[in-house]
Amino acid sequence: MTDRDTRHQRSMQKLKQRVDERVAAAQEQRGLLLVFTGNGKGKTTAAWGTVTRALGYGYKVGVVQFIKGLWECGERERLHDDPNLDIAVMATGFTWETQNRDSDTRACEQAWQHAERMLADPGTYLVVLDEITYMLKFGYLDIDTVTRALTQRPAEQTVIVTGRNAHRELIEMADTVTEMHDVKHAFNAGIQARRGIDY
Ligand code: ATP
Ligand code: MG
């Protein structure tokens, strides 16, 4: 072995020891609150990736889509007939399409009923509240209502919240927060959203 090999081996041994120590120190087992926020692409994609991951082990999953009622969604197409997946879609599109605050609020309240049902079900391993941050921002949904339901959920249940500008209280409550940072986006170069890639 060269000196370089020996040095590499030694540093890998040290790294392994540190990782093993941290793995051993992580003792707690419970459901998590994850927040995927920020302006970059990938929040909803990451949520669906986790849905697929949980379904892969046969866990029951609930997804509430808070603003994409009229949108196509490839993951929903692929997964909707999985008996372990419960999907609720808010029955309206973007607010600037419908331009009706009352009907949007009602649609949001209906979607939230589904969310509450899922958040109260100990059999549901994972709940995704996709784009819910906008409901809070537009005032269609009250932050206290949401934090109460999150606090009271079953201890083994994991929840993923997605959307830009996540409410400070959600960030504080969360176990894991990832901010997708927009370095570049094709849309800003005039390229259309692409089927099967962007939705
Ligand atoms: P995705 O659904 O691709 O994971 P996202 O959930 O992070 O994206 P949203 O803010 O929900 O992003 O945006 C919805 C749509 O806008 C998606 O088609 C997404 O690809 C696109 N998009 C995401 N980020 C940007 C951006 N920075 N500029 C323009 N379009 C974006
Ligand atoms: Mg999204």
Q: Does 113 reside within a domain?
A: yes
Q: What is the pLDDT of residue 28?
A: 86
Structural domain of residue 95, as residue ranges? 30-189
Tokens of 142: 């009250």
For residue 124, the model assigns a pLDDT of: 98
Work out the burial of residue 117: count CB atoms within 10 Å of its CB; fewer than 13 is exposed, 13-18 middle, 19 or more buried.
middle
Under 8 Å CB-to-CB from 166, ≥6 apart: which residues?
Answer: 35, 37, 133, 177
Determine whether the shortest distance from the Cβ of 180 to ligand 1 is under 6 A. Answer: yes
pLDDT at 104 (0 to 100): 85
Residue 156 covered by a domain: yes
Residue 143 lies in a domain: yes
Helix (H, G, I), strand (E, B) or coil at 1: coil
Give the active site residue among 96, 168, 188, 195. 96
The ligand 1 atom at the shortest distance from the C-alpha of residue 164 is 10
Ligand 1 atom having least distance to the Cα of 42 = 4
Neighbours of 87 (CB within 10 A): 19
For 131-176, how does the pLDDT look when each residue is reduced to its tens digit (9 = 90+)?
A: 999 999 999 999 999 999 999 999 999 999 999 999 999 999 999 9
Residue 38: inside a domain, yes or no?
yes
Q: How many structural domains are present in the chain?
A: 1
CATH of the domain at 41: 3.40.50.300
The predicted-structure confidence for 3-52, as pLDDT tens digits, reads as follows 999 999 999 999 999 999 988 888 889 999 999 999 999 999 999 999 99
The verdict on residue 132 lying in a domain is yes
Give domain status of residue 23, yes or no.
Answer: no
- DSSP label at residue 49: H
Write down the mean pLDDT value for the chain: 93
